[in-house]
Each structure stands twice: as structure tokens, then as C-alpha cells.
Amino acid sequence: MLNIVLFGPPGAGKGTQSQKLIEKYQLIHLSTGDLLRSEIAQGTQLGLQAKKLMDEGLLVPDEVVIGMIESKIADNRTAAGFIFDGFPRTVPQAEALDQLLEKYDQGISCMIALQVDEEELTKRLLLRGKTSGRPDDADETLIRKRVQEYNTKTTPVADYYAQQGKFYAVDGIGEIEEIFTKSCEIIEACQVA
């Protein structure tokens, strides 16, 4: 089974690249952002709690996110694999994900990190805020806070996967197809290994 962690700060292009990887490898998309937005749209208690945190530029607690992911994995036991988009963001989440996957006799195949500098991210997110209607993408102060929180909390996750020999960096600035090709080359190499 192919399980990919697609890593990168908000605005790095994870959504675009994940869609292309999903089509090519027939993976199930596990985007914690999409899962949370779905809960918010449904007005669930979890959704309301998540919305309050997200509006403040904060992350949702691990146990809530892990529970949602486990439910998706359990519902898709015959899938070709999963692409984890925007998760894990902390080492405890990465450890919890490894433990969760072990329960299903699986593991992470590789982590692809899209690397984009803060100024480019801010530009992309402000532009996305104009077209997406997402309030968290329309406020430059919130954007910078999200990027700072991402950098503080998630850099150790890259180290965690690097220690397992599963971390691969890809320049997230450039043509979409070029970034996709580089990502596919990494995946092919991980499948052979």
C-alpha cells in the first residue's frame, strides 16, 4: 500500500499536487483541512470548536484529528493507499499516525515536502483569499501567524521522517507539472526501495 505524507506550509501547493498524485496513483485523499471544513459546514460540535480555533489561526487538537483519520482509514481498507495532506503537523501526530497505521499493517512510504519561502506563501494565500472566500486567507497577519506556527511546530516532523529515511524535499516554486514530475520520481523510488 502506498501512503504518502504531502508536507508544506499553507499555500505551498499541497492541494494542487495532491489532486494530481491521487489521480495517478488512485489514492484516498486525507486532508485534515477538508475534514475540518466539512465538520464546520455541517455545524457539528467538533466543527464549531474547530472553526473558533482556525479563525484564531490555531491548530485543532491532535486527538480530534487522529480520530477523524482513523475513521477514514477504517472505511477504506481496500484502498491503493492514502495521501495525507496537511497532517501530521507535529512529532506526536507523526508518532500517532505511525501507531495508527501499524494497527492496519501499514506504514508511511515517503514524505514529500513542498518548500516555498514566506513571502511567496503570503502572496499566494492573499490571492487565494480573494477567490476562495476563506477568511483565514484574507488577513495577512493571520497568514503570517499560520506560517510561523507551521514552521515552529512542523520542522521537527521533517526531522522525524528524515531519521526514518522517508523525507524528500521538492522546490514548491515553479511549474505545476515540473513539481509533479519530481514528486512522482520520488514516489517511484520509494516503491522500489
Known binding residue 13? Answer is: yes
Active site annotation includes 128: yes
Active site annotation includes 103: no
Q: Do you find a cis peptide bond into 88, omega within 30 degrees of 0?
A: yes
Pick the catalytic residue from 51, 124, 146, 166.
146
Known binding residue 144? Answer is: no
Known binding residue 133? Answer is: no
What span, in angstroms and rounded, lies between the C-alpha atoms of 24 and 81? 12
Known binding residue 128? Answer is: yes
Known binding residue 12? Answer is: yes
Residues 136 and 57: beta-carbon distance below 8 Å: yes
Pick the catalytic residue from 24, 52, 103, 134.
134
Known binding residue 86? Answer is: yes
Active site annotation includes 14: yes
Active site annotation includes 77: no
- The residue written with cell numbers 489532486 in the block is 19
Known binding residue 58? Answer is: yes
Known binding residue 60? Answer is: yes
Known binding residue 84? Answer is: no
**Exposure string for 167-177, b = 16+ CB within 10 A, e = fewer:** bbbbebeeeee
Beta partners for residue 5, in sequence order: 84, 111
Active site annotation includes 124: no
**Closest Cα to residue 11, out of 132, 183, 190?**
132
Lateral strand order in the sheet of 28-31: 28-31, 81-85, 2-7, 110-115, 167-171
Cα 18 → chain centroid: 9
Pick the catalytic residue from 51, 89, 124, 166.
89
Known binding residue 88? Answer is: yes
Pick the catalytic residue from 14, 51, 124, 166.
14
Known binding residue 77? Answer is: no
Catalytic residue positions?
14, 89, 128, 134, 146
List binding-site positions for AMP: 32, 37, 58-60, 86-89, 93, 134, 146
List binding-site positions for ATP: 11-16, 128, 174
List binding-site positions: 11-16, 32, 37, 58-60, 86-89, 93, 128, 134, 146, 174
